[in-house]
Amino acid sequence: MWDEIFQPNIFKVGKTYTYTNNDGVFILATMVRIECPECGEEFIGNKREAGLFLKGHTIYHQHIEELAEFYGGV
């Protein structure tokens, strides 16, 4: 069932690929695996997308901390 909705990751961490998707053409993109140091969520993809994941994830955690502080937690 999940394979019909989510395609399995065909890229191997550490390998370099040339591929295209909706965001553009990626030439010799190295695949990396990163993990959020706060919650442990993982991301596997090229370096550009990994950087966007970390930046967005950092903003998400900052927002959650602000909400918790506003509502009297933490």
Q: Which domain holds residue 46?
A: 2-70
Buried b (16+ CB within 10 A) or exposed e, 29-62: bebbebeeeeeeeeeebbeebbeebeeebeeeee
Residue-level pLDDT, tens digit, the chain, 74 residues: 556 666 667 788 999 989 888 888 989 999 999 998 888 899 998 998 899 999 998 899 999 889 888 887 65
The predicted pLDDT at position 7 comes to: 67
Domain count, the chain: 1
* pLDDT for the residue numbered 37: 85
